[in-house]
């Protein structure tokens, strides 16, 4: 009983902090995306390509979560954008109060797009709201098409599923149609984008998706 109570208190506090973050993002007019996946699915590589493609058209910043190192922030910062590292002390996810603290180091009103690269984990990140406008998740074709059934919450919570590493399809038994079917059984409105962050295949559609979400936020603010 005590463990349940503690868990409920943690989630309650996080929900409160997430609401405060969302108000802050809306007032600043910055679109915030929470990008999630299992370890090694290609989040950082995709974000490197995204930063390079969009930084001339949008003011972009990234907050990245890693259990120990700041390697991802160093990689992303080398592309000429603000990149902040959160080390959540061994936790398997980022929490809203950590995002709030990181945002104190950013000039939010000067940004169009803030991407949160969550800790690599297919369970916990989907449970904790951060104040983001949307969640997106990456499913690597090297992981297996059974993941929607095994980790349903992440697929239910996401607006988009990015099927990455499609260049590896000929070398795996990944059933792309089955993965999409199972994911949309959990979330019929799930948008699916197929890509390879390594080769660049499908990335223009992803860049367009992100820009469209930023534009939709601006249109909503001006209407």
Contact 158, 189 (CB under 8 A): no
The three-state DSSP-derived secondary structure of 94-159 is CCHHHHHHHHCCCCHHHCCEEEEECCCCCCHHHHCCCCCCEEEEEEECCCCCCHHHHCHHHHHHCC
pLDDT score recorded for residue 198: 96
How far apart, in whole angstroms, are the C-alpha atoms of residue 116 and residue 61? 9
Q: Which domain holds residue 135?
A: 30-222
Report which of residues 171 and 69 the model is more confident about: 171
pLDDT score recorded for residue 9: 57
Q: What is the per-residue pLDDT across 58-108, written as a single tens digit (0 to 9) for each?
A: 999 999 988 667 788 889 989 999 999 998 776 788 999 999 999 999 999
pLDDT score recorded for residue 150: 96
- Structural domain total, the chain: 1
pLDDT score recorded for residue 10: 59
Residue 22 in domain: no
pLDDT score recorded for residue 114: 98
Residue 82 in domain: yes
pLDDT score recorded for residue 218: 86
pLDDT score recorded for residue 34: 98
Taking alpha carbons only, the member of 83, 65, 81 closest to residue 73 is: 83
Residue 218 in domain: yes
pLDDT score recorded for residue 72: 84
Contact 215, 209 (CB under 8 A): no
Q: Which residues, listed in sequence order, are joined to residue 194 by a DSSP beta bridge?
A: 163
Residue 7 in domain: no
- The whole-model pTM stands at 0.91
pLDDT category, 215, cuts 50, 70, 90? very high
pLDDT score recorded for residue 219: 86
pLDDT score recorded for residue 197: 97
Residue 8 in domain: no
Residue 2 in domain: no
Indicate which CATH number applies to the domain containing 140. 3.40.50.300
Residue 19 in domain: no
36: tokens are 């999630």
Residue 24 in domain: no
């Amino acid at each position: 009983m005590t463990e349940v109570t503690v868990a409920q208190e943690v989630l309650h506090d996080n929900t409160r902090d997430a609401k405060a973050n969302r108000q802050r993002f809306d007032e600043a007019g910055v679109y915030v995306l929470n990008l999630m996946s299992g370890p090694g699915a290609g989040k950082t590589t995709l974000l490197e390509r995204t930063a390079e493609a969009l930084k001339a058209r949008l003011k972009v910043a990234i907050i990245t979560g890693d259990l120990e190192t700041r390697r991802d922030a160093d990689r992303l910062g080398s592309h000429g954008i603000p990149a902040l590292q959160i080390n959540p002390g061994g936790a398997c996810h980022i929490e809203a109060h950590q995002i709030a603290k990181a945002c104190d180091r950013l000039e939010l009103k000067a940004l169009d797009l803030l991407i949160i690269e969550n800790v690599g984990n297919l369970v916990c990140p989907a449970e904790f709201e951060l104040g983001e406008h949307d969640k997106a998740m990456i499913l690597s074709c090297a992981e297996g098409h059974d993941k929607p059934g095994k980790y349903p919450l992440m697929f239910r919570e996401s607006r988009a599923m990015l099927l990455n590493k499609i260049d590896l399809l000929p070398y795996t038994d990944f059933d792309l149609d089955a993965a999409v079917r199972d994911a949309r059984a959990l979330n019929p409105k799930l948008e699916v984008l197929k890509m390879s962050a390594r080769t660049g295949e499908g990335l223009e559609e992803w860049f367009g998706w992100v820009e469209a979400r930023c534009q939709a936020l601006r249109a909503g603010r001006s209407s």
